[in-house]
Amino acid sequence: MTEWRGERQARDARIQAGRAHADGKVVPAGSVVDLLEAVLRPGDRVCLEGDNQKQADCLARGLAACDPGKVHDLHMVQSGIVLPEHLDVFETGIAKRLDYSYSGPQGARIAKMLYGGQIQLGAVHTYLELFARYFVDLTPHVALIAGVSADRDGNLYTGPNTEDTPTVVEATAFKNGVVIAQVNQIVDKVPRVDIPGDRIDFVVEADTPFYVEPLFTRDPAAMTETQILIAMMAIKGIYAEYGIRRLNHGIGFGTAAIELLLPTYGEKLGLKGQICTHWALNPHPTLIPAIESGWVQQVHCFGSEVGMDRYIRARPDIFFTGADGSLRSNRAFCQTAGLYACDMFIGATLQIDLMGHSSTITQSRVAGFGGAPNMGSDPHGRRHPSDAWMKAGREGQVVGDPALMRGRKLVVQLVETFGEKLVPTFVEKLDALELAKKIGLELAPVMIYADDVTHIVTEEGIANLLLCRDADEREQAIRGVAGYTDVGRGRDRAKVEELRARGVIRRPEDLGIEPLDADRALLAAKSIKDLVHWSGGLYEPPAKFRNW
Amino acid sequence: MESLTFRHTTKKPLPGSVPNAITGVVASGNLEILLERVLPPDACEVAIETPIAGYGPVWEAVVADFVARAQPGGLRISINDGGARPDTVSLRLLQGARLMEA
Amino acid sequence: MAGAHAASTDPNALSWYEATARQRVVALADPGSVQEFLPPTERRMSPHLPLFDLPRAFDDGIVVGRAKLDGKTVLVAAQEGRFMGGAFGEIHGAKLVGLLRAALTLKPAAVLILFDTGGVRLQEANAGETAIAETMRAIVDVRAAGIPVIGLIGGRAGCYGGGGLIAGTCSRLAVSEGGRISVSGPEVIETNKGAEEFDSRDRALVWRTMGGKHRRLIGGADVFCADTVSAFRQAALDLIGRAPAFDLATLEAEQARLESRIERFGDCRDATDIWARLGVNDPEAVPAMATRAFDETVSRVREADHDAR
């Protein structure tokens, strides 16, 4: 007779074993290791919640402290490899296999461990892709998640950083998995129920509040004239040109400069209401001046940002908030919004090759992708028109029946020609290819493929790749904005001038921009303190960004 | 430290009569540029002191583009570099020329 | 001079914190009045830095000269905090000492020192330390000659190390919120005493302990000004007009004041404890206060105004 309930019985047994260390669902922080050793089975697929912002760090420490004799060979399926513990478990044998999507601060160590064979890598995914696989072939047996508070029934308040939690819980709880949540405190009644209690099996009152990285805070004091010049070109040459109203910004200084130029330079160009009204974006502090100046209609967020909670609570017309008043973020939905409902993604990268492939991977660092490849791609499933999307489609269409033309998402790379320590952004060959060979990856970790990129903006100009008609034009268009890098100096000057005459390349002067006008005086806020003033004192920046 | 000097002949002198000007600060990723109107009107000399070796061809290209664009005849330009990127160098050179034209 | 043609900007809009040393001097003084001594064209650069493969600055990171302030002649020195952290090297120090000594013969209405320094330049430490001592000696002579020496502090490097010592010898000090005055810097304290004693990355703590508002509240500075060049100009004019006498009575009062300060506040664990003891109603609110609200708070604190610092 076929067994149809084996998984369910296994789940019941895990929960039964875990209950020995719990009072109802509640587990004291000191018993985390016992709980995990009781619930986990060798070879389990485990999602240890953590992404580029919040971390289930108490549970991560607990997992790393488990006895590798009892808990071993786990298959970690998680968004972020961010904490040291995320990799420690691979050194001790607690974990063996890994599928993930982002590894900012651990990028160097993960590269070393991949090379050393301590980690069996499945793949480096995008967020949305990994979430999708949670529901198909990477469904977790156990999910270790983080929230702000829970009641004794397990009803969970995630706080403003809801992020991945609903997705992870959905996949685990409804497919015979066990969900363990760490919370900052157990309360009688949660402010709002982000996850209903019947999806949470255990609640751990953590020893310290979960860690959140202020990843999206860019200090205006550090913005350079070059970044301001690039921002001016982007606003005038792309935002205004295509009438971009729905968009996502990356986390770099270039896009933060754009946010700070909207109320000043953008205002001067008369673009208010014409561009940047609807966003899929984390609550960037640098967006505050634009919001306060009436540029922004609404913002949906992947996660929150440290210090923005009071401001968001006071601006429910702009942000998605719960009945309790606090932000409700959701990474899966916001990624989907960025993919399908935005006409433009604009962000930075570390390397761009002659065709326009880009990567944030260097020879010694595997930083992962996060969400950029989703938002930075042209979604072939899109079926609703918009002026920006259709204009880009027309520019890109070379042959075929105009009646069957579809639009194009604008995917814009905003880069300075040289990065930190005079490392060139433009290269003949991406380091990612070398790395893939070195550690035996079947698929090179390319962040955004060339065929998705529509524009590259540097301090030298804008290259509109939609208008390039063959590979040679494309290469010269890229060389033509690559400045004084080897790639840039290797340009065919005559060809570049021809492309410029056709508007494929546009220099600041072609856009009516004087580079010497790119001055910090144009920034709506020149410091974090200015942002606090713009917010009416509602923005509370983390201590490391203060100078008062 | 690496010292580089580039000499160019220009088609015309830089307009204006400001005798000298300085712009920028020697800091990480930045540089200071001292401009002095002391050469014959069709000559321009750019002397660079940089702590970052091996970027001679890049400096040469940056300076050549600047000279072609600004026609800074008559100027001796002295640069103390703190590891500035080429785009910053270009910007400061243009800022300096503008100050001299005032 | 070269500096006269450094980009000048509207002093009402120009941020002191963001401006370069030369921009500060030009915008602070009466228009067109600055006459720089040993300008960049003289190329008086550090003889030591090339030995360390480090770039030099044409003025060795300090602008010195003569200028007019409301028609009165003043001597001015301005440190460039972005060049080697505004640190004192041999030439840098000699320019400041020379300026102060010249004051004895030029008899200006005041000497203004626009501090922006982390202290002594490590690569030329002996010369730098000597310069600190010589500067303090020279300030004493200048003050004894009846010429006020006014310190203006609001740059990104703050006023640390020997700079902090020199500031202590000035007649009057003006400071902005971004300005910091101390001897040992946050990182130095953390390195020596541990992060539990002083977490240098906790910038709110750094500013509460060393920042402009704290210094003003305890009387370590005499004016708190907004972060604009015009505010510093106003502060300088104000302070020149009310510089204290430099005599035994002042020094004795200063000694007595320092003794009572350590007695009164020596057991405080945080600047907010000191502010509470000074009678500030809501100490936690001080860091976020705008200039006007803060000035009102200061006006209710007796210790803030005192001839002896």
DSSP letters of C12-71? TT-BTTTS-HHHHHHHHSSTT--EEES-GGG----SSGGGGT----TTTTEEEEEEEETT
Q: For residue C28, which of C230, C272, C263, C216 has the smallest C-alpha distance?
A: C230
Q: What is the pLDDT of residue C5?
A: 40
- Specify whether domain C2-304 bears CATH 3.30.470.20: no
Q: A509: which residues sit within 8 A by CB, 6+ positions away?
A: none
Residue B48 CB neighbours (<10 A):
23
Burial class (CB in 10 A: 0-12, 13-18, 19+), A41: middle
Q: What is the nearest CA distance from C252 to chain A, expressed in angstroms? A: 33
Q: Which residues of B touch C54 (CB under 8 A)?
A: 51
Residues in chain B: 102
- Which residues are registered as beta bridge partners of A145? A181
Q: What is the nearest CA distance from C55 to chain B, expressed in angstroms? A: 6
Are A150 and A188 in contact by the 8 Å Cβ rule? The answer is no
Q: How many Å separate Cα A27 from the centre of its chain?
A: 32
- Supply A230's token pair: 């690039």
Q: Which residues of B touch A421 (CB under 8 A)?
A: 83
DSSP count for chain B of H helices, then E strands: 2, 5
Q: Please give the Cα distance from A206 to A159 (Å, whole number).
A: 15
What b/e readout covers A357-391, taking b as 16+ CB neighbours within 10 angstroms?
bbbbbbeebbbbbbbbbbbbbbbeebeeebebbbb
What does DSSP say about strands C110-115 and C223-225: parallel, antiparallel, or unpaired? unpaired
Q: C266: which residues sit within 8 A by CB, 6+ positions away?
A: none
Residue pLDDT tens, chain B, 102 long: 999 999 999 999 999 999 999 999 999 999 999 999 999 999 999 999 999 999 999 999 999 999 999 999 999 999 999 999 999 999 999 999 999 998
What string of DSSP letters covers C259-277? HHHHHHHTT-SSHHHHHHH
Chain B residue with minimal CA distance to A230? B87
Q: Please give the Cα distance from A198 to C258 (Å, whole number).
A: 65
Which among A521, A532, A546 has the least Cβ separation from residue C204?
A: A546
Burial class (CB in 10 A: 0-12, 13-18, 19+), A420: exposed
Q: C103: which residues sit within 8 A by CB, 6+ positions away?
A: C75, C111, C142, C145, C147
* Interface contact flag, B23 C58, Cβ < 8 Å: no
Are C77 and C62 in contact by the 8 Å Cβ rule? The answer is yes
Which among B52, B61, B88 has the least Cβ separation from residue A489?
A: B61
Q: Which residues of C touch A543 (CB under 8 A)?
A: 201-205
* Interface contact flag, B78 C58, Cβ < 8 Å: yes
Q: What is the pLDDT of residue A299?
A: 98
Spell out the domain ranges in chain C.
2-304
Chain B residue with minimal CA distance to A422? B85
Residues in chain A: 548
The 3-state DSSP class for residue C115 equals strand
The strands making up A455-458's β-sheet, listed across from edge to edge, are: A298-300, A278-280, A246-249, A344-347, A410-414, A455-458, A461-464, A505-506
**H or E element, residue C142:** helix C125-144
Q: What is the nearest CA distance from A388 to chain C, expressed in angstroms? A: 38
- Which residues are registered as beta bridge partners of A319? A299
The 3-state DSSP class for residue C130 equals helix
Are A293 and A267 in contact by the 8 Å Cβ rule? The answer is yes
Q: For residue A124, which of A153, A143, A101 has the smallest C-alpha distance?
A: A101
Q: What is the pLDDT of residue A397?
A: 85
The strands making up B75-81's β-sheet, listed across from edge to edge, are: B2-9, B43-50, B75-81, B31-37, B20-23
Q: What is the nearest CA distance from B65 to chain C, expressed in angstroms? A: 23
**A443 at C interface, C-beta within 8 A:** no
Which among C9, C17, C207 has the least Cβ separation from residue A546?
A: C207
What ipTM was reported for this prediction? 0.96
Over residues A187-221, the pLDDT tens digits come to 999 999 999 999 999 999 999 999 888 889 999 99
Which among C3, C82, C83 has the least Cβ separation from residue B22?
A: C3
Which amino acid, residue C153? I
- Supply C76's token pair: 């001015």
The 3-state DSSP class for residue A258 equals helix
Q: Please give the Cα distance from A282 to B58 (Å, whole number).
A: 39
Residue of A484, A485, A491 for testing the chain B interface, max B β-carbons within 10 Å: A484
Q: What percent of chain A has pLDDT over 70?
A: 100
The 3-state DSSP class for residue C256 equals helix
Residue of A310, A523, A547 for testing the chain C interface, max C β-carbons within 10 Å: A547
Q: In whole angstroms, how far apart are CA A59 and each of A201, A289, C80, C203?
A: 14, 38, 49, 30
- Domains along chain B? 2-101 (3.30.230)
Q: How many Å separate Cα C105 from the centre of its chain?
A: 24
Q: What is the pLDDT of residue C9?
A: 61
Q: What is the mean pLDDT of residues A66-85?
A: 96
Residue pLDDT tens, chain C, 309 long: 344 344 446 778 889 999 999 999 999 999 999 999 999 999 999 999 999 999 999 999 999 999 999 999 999 999 999 999 999 999 999 999 999 999 999 999 999 999 999 999 999 999 999 999 999 999 999 999 999 999 999 999 999 999 999 999 999 999 999 999 999 999 999 999 998 899 998 999 999 999 999 999 999 999 999 999 999 999 999 999 999 999 999 889 889 988 999 999 999 999 999 999 999 999 999 998 989 999 999 999 877 676 656
Q: Which residues of C touch B22 (CB under 8 A)?
A: 2-3, 5-6, 22, 40, 58
Which among B52, B58, B91 has the least Cβ separation from residue A225?
A: B91
The 3-state DSSP class for residue A181 equals strand
Residue A246 has pLDDT above 90, yes or no: yes
- Domains along chain A? 12-205 (3.40.1080.10), 220-529 (3.40.1080.10)
Q: In whole angstroms, how far apart are CA A541 and each of A216, A303, C173, C271?
A: 11, 16, 29, 20
Cite the DSSP H helix spans in A21-153.
32-39, 57-64, 84-92, 107-115, 127-134
Q: Please give the Cα distance from C233 to A91 (Å, whole number).
A: 61
* Interface contact flag, C203 A543, Cβ < 8 Å: yes
Q: Which residues of A touch B94 (CB under 8 A)?
A: 515-516
Chain A residue with minimal CA distance to B59? A484
- Supply A232's token pair: 């001016």
Interface of B with A in 43-82 (CB under 8 A): 52, 55, 57-58, 61-62
What string of DSSP letters covers A344-384? EEEE--SEE-TT--EES-BTTB--B-TTHHHHTS--TT---
Residue A360 has pLDDT above 90, yes or no: no
Q: What is the nearest CA distance from C24 to chain B, expressed in angstroms? A: 13
Which among C5, C43, C82 has the least Cβ separation from residue B102?
A: C5
Q: How many Å separate Cα B97 from the centre of its chain?
A: 8
DSSP state of A118: S
Q: What is the pLDDT of residue A520?
A: 93
Q: Which residues of C touch B80 (CB under 8 A)?
A: 55-58
Residue of C5, C62, C156 for testing the chain B interface, max B β-carbons within 10 Å: C5
Residue A455 CB neighbours (<10 A):
27
Q: For residue A15, which of A207, A266, A269, A201 has the smallest C-alpha distance?
A: A201
Which among B61, B85, B94 has the least Cβ separation from residue A422?
A: B85
- Which residues are registered as beta bridge partners of B30? none
**Residue carrying the six token digits 């020379």:** C98
Over residues C253-277, the pLDDT tens digits come to 889 988 999 999 999 999 999 999 9
Residues in chain C: 309
Q: What is the pLDDT of residue A369?
A: 84
Interface of A with C in 201-240 (CB under 8 A): 221
Q: What is the nearest CA distance from C26 to chain A, expressed in angstroms? A: 18
Cite the DSSP H helix spans in A262-316.
267-268, 288-292, 309-313
Task: Compute, in degrees rounded to 10, the torsion defined by CA atoms A471, A475, A476, A479.
Answer: 170
Q: Please give the Cα distance from C113 to C126 (Å, whole number).
A: 22
Over residues A435-474, the pLDDT tens digits come to 888 888 888 889 999 999 999 999 999 999 999 999 999 9
Q: What is the pLDDT of residue C307?
A: 62
Q: What is the pLDDT of residue C4?
A: 39
Q: A91: which residues sit within 8 A by CB, 6+ positions away?
A: A113, A118
Q: What is the nearest CA distance from B8 to chain C, expressed in angstroms? A: 21
Q: A361: which residues sit within 8 A by CB, 6+ positions away?
A: A350, A351, A367, A430, A431, A432, A435, A445, A447
